[in-house]
Each structure stands twice: as structure tokens, then as C-alpha cells.
Structure 1
Amino acid sequence: MVGRLGTPGATGWTDNVRWTGELCDAPEEGLGASHSGTSPSFPVEGKGCPRVWRQAVDAPRWDVFISYSTKDREQVSHVVNDLESLGFRVWQDASTIGFADRIRDKIDEGIHNSSLLLIFISPRSLRSRWVLNELDAAMLREVSQNKPFVLPVLMGAASTGDLPGDLRGKKYLDLRHGFRRKYDAARANLVATIRVASLSDDQPAASVGPEMVVGDELVRFVVGYDFSQAREERPVPREAIAGLIKDFAESYLDELPEIMATDEMKRAFVERYGRHAIEKAIEFSMDQAKISLTRGLIQPELDSAFFAADTMIAMVQTNAQFIEDDSDDWMIAGFRPNGELFYAFRQKPDHARPR
């Protein structure tokens, strides 16, 4: 993924190269700068920069694969251009398949190496042999990996009754009857969904300890968490930590630009859980960023803590929509063996479904 940053040890993609990044002090480019000429994912001001170790891979990674009828190109291009402006790697036939490429091979490669597939459903795409073939390949991947991969987007005069059998019962994005207006309204949730899929593609299948539903369960865990002081040279008074975190929360809510969580997501989080939950999310994320207060806090570490808290809030708000829509899948959070939090999709267990 172009320009994607994470906490130390996170993974990302740029062009045909995989990188693992930590944050460093003196960038030649701004934090989140793109390495391929497209817009950065996270246009954050600050002193941090990705320190990069590169390893060649056989094929590029894509955040989202676009399946559509070329007769719907004008409307679909509006979505593609917007996602690319945010720094997402988007697979689309018009920009990805070269003159001498074998079309079928490039499509299979794109589906295999993408984190999410958006299939734009219209009367015209339902008559497209290419779109239906792409759907078959995508559903095989979804079944084999046992996690959501295909997200239908309804447009034009499409009817839910016209959906192919594989897509019935799936959560879908409804852009019928006012495509651009409805896209603008759904944009924040779509962007967060793509980012979750991209993040979860990099995570291990198994976690250490219990998994938590990303929502009330995760927030309860975080609200009950206290900064561990595991890396401190001497104990830090609890009231000093609390005062520092209050200042950090002020900066996070009032000064920092949108990265993962939109302003709307932040407001909804505060309305549901209170401002104290924001402070505790930052406190928890300080341990995730391996911060030591007595050895001296540096800006890249603080950037990393803010990013981790921002990601958590975005994931909580996105999963709340999945739960409200009674999706078959939801997001869970777990811990890697090194103690880092990760997010992934899991199939909703039977006991969690409405009766």
C-alpha cells in the first residue's frame, strides 16, 4: 500500500516492493509521503518518517480490486479517482492491464493480490461475462480463506432480487438513485472498511489470548487498562501520567488532521463512550508504541501512539455499522505474541446472531 504507516513492525506495500517500517527522526519527505508519485494515505505533519527495509516480491499488492462493466465507467471512475487520491492502490483494468498482457492472467493476479474486491452491480454488469467470471474467482478466494473479500455496490436500476446467489445476504453499499450523493454519505465507512481489509491481510491468523469484538468489548478492555510503565527507569506518579494524557487527548481531538478516524467517527465515539475513553485509548496506545516517559518522549513515538488510537476508534465505529446491519462477519481484535494489537475479520458465531 502506498505510503501506509503503522506502529513499529507494521507492514505495507509500495510499487513491487514490500517494506516494514518504523518511525525515524529526520525525514527527507513528510510523514506518510508516497514513494510512487500518488497521493499519500496519511498527510500528517511532524518529524516522523518511515525507515524502510525493502524486499522484492513477485507482484504488487492492491488494496481494492474494481469489478465493473465498462459501460458504467463514468460513475465507477468517480469512486476509483477518490480512493486513489487517498493513497489506496486500486486495481482497475483500464490502468493495470498493459497492451501485451494476458488479460485472464492479470485479472487472476489482481484478485489474488488484493485485500478487498468491490463489485459494481448494475443491469449492465450482470450481463458482463468478465464481471461474472471475476465474481466466481473472488468467491472462491473468499470461501477458501474463510473471511470477507467481496463487497457488492448497487447502482443504477439494480435490484436486490437480481443479485447472483453468491451475493444474496451480503452487506452491500447502496448507491442507487443519487450515485454521488450516496457515495459521499457512505465514503467514510467504505474507506475504513478498505483500510481494515488491508490491515488484516498483514496479520497472523492466530492470536495470543482471548479475542475481543471491536466495539463495546474492546473499549471496556481499554478503559480498564493502565499504562504499564514497563520501560520506565523509575516509577512515574499516576497523576502526572493522567495530566499528560489529557493534554494528548486535547491535541488528538482538536488539532490533528484526519488519518484513520474522521471527525464524524471521533464525535460518535465520544458520544457513545465519553471523552475518558479517548484518553484511555491514547494511554493504551502509548504502551503499543513502546513509549518511555523517563527516558524522554520523542515526536515519532507520539505520532505512533496517536495513529494506534486513531485506528482503534475508526475500527470501533466501522464495526458498529457492521453489527447494526446484522452482517455475517465482524471485526475482532487480538494480540500478537509480541503484545501488539491487531484487527481481523471473523465470521460471527451463531450465539451472536439475532434469534
Structure 2
Amino acid sequence: MISRPTQLVFTALTAVAVVWSCPGTAPAVEAAPRPRPIYPRFDLTYFPRVSHQGLIGFRPVAIARSAKGPELVSATSQLFTYAFGWIKDGTLSAAEAPAFADIEQCVFNLNAYVQPESDGEHGKIGINGAAPCVIRTIRPFDWNGRLRKWFPKADWVRHAGRSYARVQLQTTPKESVPFVLFAADDRTLVCSPEPEVRALLDRLAARKPAPAPSSGWAEIDREFLAIFFDNRETPLFAGQPLSVSKPGIEELKALADSAQTAALSLSVCDRSGIRVTVIAKDDRRAKIVTYAIRRLLEMADEDLKANTDPGPFAVMAKESLTRTLIERKGCQVFWTTSAEGNVIELLLSFIRGPV
């Protein structure tokens, strides 16, 4: 299942990456220093399975620090409506959910896809979060008690000495794989298809270690937002036809065809910064990645200049024009940029939706 809150985070991130990180026509002399990560690592202890496409992690509590009271109420309501609204016979108003400010982290599997052209429509490229996912609170929370009140018709099942709630989805055929909610400890809720939770319970009973994602994840998993994309097992495009007449598609395809992995992090401290590390298939393809990133940023710069009514992203872009740096070292390509200001406040506006 796809998580709507994560889609909204990625909508905001796309806006940051495309609008805020424009390089201008002159190369930056010196990139601004990266903000130091201030968060603990995303906890994968109870993560059932790491997708071959990668991982996504973000921290609601960090967003909440920049929010006002009414915004937090709205963000909390939307987060749990989007997270559980697709479950049949659920009543989220039956018991209070943990406040947005009390959620330490959310981790999702990454789902990247290409939608081919059809009936004259341009193809699309998408990225969002998918189950299994884990929601972890700052303090102990009675997840099982809430689940029983939210979903009174759920079936409670025991496996390997632990219990979980099997729920029915709104539009799921009866023959599909069941979906479950599992309180792994007094802070952690796991949302996943049932076979993966049962495998998790077997792993916990055998005291085996948590799944280990590719090494690139460890480089970014102490940031506010972390995205690790692995293009090796299932290439993003894989022959899917897209319209090259649409600006940027040709460059995106060249980038995806040349990259093995990509790690993106959003840091927020005294400054807000984006860092992307792409590992290409070889040195030659690293040059293609570098060229594609430069071209995409040039297009974003042109869009920014054509914008006659710049918003807050564009204001941050003015500083980042001289703070963008692209480096290539062998098969690795690094892109960094930063600017004064708190981009979390802008992300919050996407999460809570229209006022």
C-alpha cells in the first residue's frame, strides 16, 4: 500500500529540488558547509523487509517543532487519516492518536515507477512510500489498545508468541494477501502485508539481526529526510516508453540508465541543505550523470526566471544560486546546495494541505 503522507513529503521535496536548487549560469566558487546531522539513525529493528528499490525515512517531530497548535492538530489528523483511512470498518475518532509532535520517525519502502504513454497522454515518473512501513513514537504509546478501538472488527492472530491485528482494506479483493498492524514494542507500529510480518516475528523469535540496506543508506539516515534509491535489480525505466518531447525526460532517462544507486538527504539545522550522491555504473556513465544533473538544474533555473510571482521556495533559491556544487570523483557524483531558512516550514504546508 502507498502512504499518502509520504507522497506529500515527496511533493514538497520535488519542489525543493527543482525550484530551490537552481545553479544559475555561473559556477559556484564554494559550496556552503553541510548542516551536521542531529538525529538518531532511523531504526530498522522491526522493519520486515527492505525493498530492492530502497528506503524512505522522515521525522514528524522535526516538522512539529516549526508548527503552531492548529497546524499540529491538522497534521496529526491528516497523517493518521491517510495512513489508516484505506482500512475498512475503521473509526479513528474512537480513540486519540499520538500527536504529530510525539512521532519520532516514519520509515517506508521506496516505490519508484514509470507510467508509459497511453491514449496521447505523456508518461509519468513517480516516487513514493510503500509498505512495509514503521511508525515510531518518542515515548511509550498503547498501540494495541488504540488498534482495538480504531478497528474493532480486526482479527487478532498469534504467531511466534506475538499478536497482531489483521484488517480488511476498502478495495482489496478477498483473494489478495491480508494486511496487518503489529505493535512491535511500546513505541513501534508496523504496517505490512501479513506474510512479511510473520517472517519478521520468526526473525525476532530466532534473534536474528534486522535487514541491512545498501551501504548508501547509512550515509544519510541521520538526516531529517532520507531517500535511498537502488536502480540495480529493477531499473527505473526498463524499456518503458516516455515522451522525450517533454522537457527533462531525456535527461532523467539518461541519469536513471547510468546510475546504480542514489542517496538524497535533506538537512535542517542553522541552514537547510540538500545533498545527493549518485554512484554510476562506471566512470563514463558518471560523466553522463553529471551532464544530466547540470541540464536539469539549468531547466529549473529557466523556470525560476520565468516565474513572475515567486514564492518562498524561490526566495531560498536566490541564495542557493551561488551555493550549488556538483563534483565527480570516479564513478561517484555529488550534488550539494544550501540556503538560509527553515525548509521544514515549507514542507509542513504540503503535509497539512490547504488551510
Fold shared per TM-score above 0.5? no
Structure with a larger share of its residues in helix = 1
Structure with greater strand share of residues? 2
Structure having greater relative contact order (Cα 8 Å, sep ≥ 6) = 2
What TM-score do you get using the length of structure 2 for normalisation? 0.29
- TM-score, normalised on structure 1? 0.29
